[in-house]
Structure 1
């Protein structure tokens, strides 16, 4: 396939482009700087500027654009950037597909398990209702923008959990664990949906050739609590575990970001992926963390 990737320079995008190339696909990248090769093409999503004829030359589009959620604090200005960076990029791609004489066959657009909000004790599938809060509202608008793609284009919105790779949420957590500073966050009983970077990329490639559409949860098949996850992380780097981070401190220092990223409980399961025959290489959080710790970044 010829695949156009937006957000190709991020952790997931870099790994995805490498794996696509290794498996024989052709990759074109949308960039915000002057092109440095014949596979790079400049776009300015905030200004809705893109060469729509690119859509006539590719079979699929993967959209991974968006301001990082792990950038703290979430000021009012940065929350606006979180929303607009996602919606503007997604709308720009969907608009370009509609303008093209032949739209791509599939549009895989980033999304997040933040859609579900804080739902302690509930088993959450793709059929579960939207939750309450800033992130659920962001994801709702973000996914609606993806659905503006032409009718002939199969649209998949991938609701990713915490991606266990060298970046993203693991960028602060891994060094803390290596310093022996990992411990319960809040009660520690909240469920953290997770997926290894390896399986995140494999799942996206699987979806390129699948018949699935609509929201798809990209999370590992074995749910785990924050306490369980961080205990495994500390054990894998051979450091003690136990220094707590009280919920009150999180609320005071991080406010919305702390509650929605660290304290929300989301027992999300990959029902559609499993039903579609996808096989996880890292079936447990222990597998994912062991892969992260054992292998140097490529």
Structure 2
């Protein structure tokens, strides 16, 4: 299968490329083709831009993972614009190319995030849930709609991703204080943390790629979300470190501004549609997932 992947050099994308490498012909869209070639290998095709393309007639599938990291920097108005445009612009262009194709890709898998739902309190929700309107929802709602615009010409799957656990990503940012014995819950610790092991993240994308009955919205989260307090306790256990020092909500708001809401608020998100479609998670319990990632 000929597959076009955006965001291929990122945390999820690089592992996906590794998984798809053996059986598929990959074209990788990246702003730095030379650097990404060194990272991912010279056997792939590389594009620096979609400019100049009139269609995707020669592509069988598109996987769209591009986007400015949402927690990389404080949310100034300029940073919010970068977060939005890095997702919206490329997704709109991909949909335009798909709609312009006489022989369109058979499937378009496009990223999103469980931030779509906004804050949800203690409720356990699935893909049918309503949303709380805030910045994370606004980003995801338009991001998803731009991908769904191509549904007239191809099968579209939207993947709403939770916290992905692997060597890198969000977990790498969490580890330093825990390793020093200074980790602990955020705020009251009751907020939901919906996680997924990187192996299951990649496997789910592969599943959607090859199962033609799958389309629409899919939560990429393990079946057993936990509270922030439980996550902190389990991570401390795996690292053999105490995890009792809380991070006060007001201090996070002072340091991070609006972005702190991602940490203070949360969601308990269930992958109902993935399970209904027959996907089996390898990692369903947080402790097992963390032991696998951290090798302890």
TM-score by length of 1: 0.92
| Aligned equivalent of 2:59 | 58
- In 2, the alpha carbon distance for the partners of 1:274 and 1:215 equals 12
Task: State the match for 1:237 in structure 2.
Answer: 239
TM-score between both structures, scaled by the size of structure 2: 0.93
Measured in 2, the distance between the counterparts of 1:74 and 1:130 equals 21
Are the aligned partners of 2:26 and 2:45 in contact in 1 as well (CA < 8 Å)? Answer: no
Partner of 1:40: 45
For 1:186, what is the secondary structure of its paired residue? Answer: coil
Paired residue for 1:2? 2
Per-residue CA deviations over 1:104-124 (Å, capped at 9, x if unaligned) read: 010000000001111112221
Deviations 1:242-274 (A, max 9, x none): 111011111221121111x21112011000001
Aligned residues: CA RMSD: 1.6
Equivalent pair of 2:88/2:143 in contact (CA under 8 Å)? yes
Equivalence for 1:157: 158
Aligned to 2:139: 138
Please give the alpha-carbon distance, in whole angstroms, between the structure 1 residues aligned to 2:130 and 2:203.
27
In structure 1, stretches of 5+ residues that fail to align are none
Give secondary structure in 1 for the equivalent of 2:27.
Answer: strand
Residue of structure 1 in register with 2:194 after alignment: 193
Please state how far the C-alpha of 1:50 moved relative to its aligned partner: 5.0
Find the counterpart in structure 2 of residue 16 from structure 1.
Answer: 16
Structure 1 counterpart SS, 2:152: coil
Shift of 1:192: 0.7
The corresponding residue for 2:87 is 86
* Contact 1:120–1:266 under 8 Å retained in 2: yes
Decide whether the 8 Å contact of 2:63 with 2:110 is kept in 1: yes
1:148 alignment partner, SS class: helix
Bigger shift: 134-143 or 97-106?
97-106
Whether the aligned pair in 1 keeps the contact of 2:220 and 2:271 (CA below 8 Å) is yes
CA drift at 1:294: 0.7
Partner SS state of residue 226, structure 2: coil
Kindly indicate whether the alpha-carbon contact (under 8 Å) linking 2:219 and 2:271 is maintained by their aligned counterparts in 1.
yes
Deviations 1:130-189, CA, capped at 9 Å, x for gaps: 222100011001001101215130111100000011222112102221121211100001
| CA distance in structure 2 between the aligned counterparts of 1:124 and 1:9, rounded to whole angstroms | 31
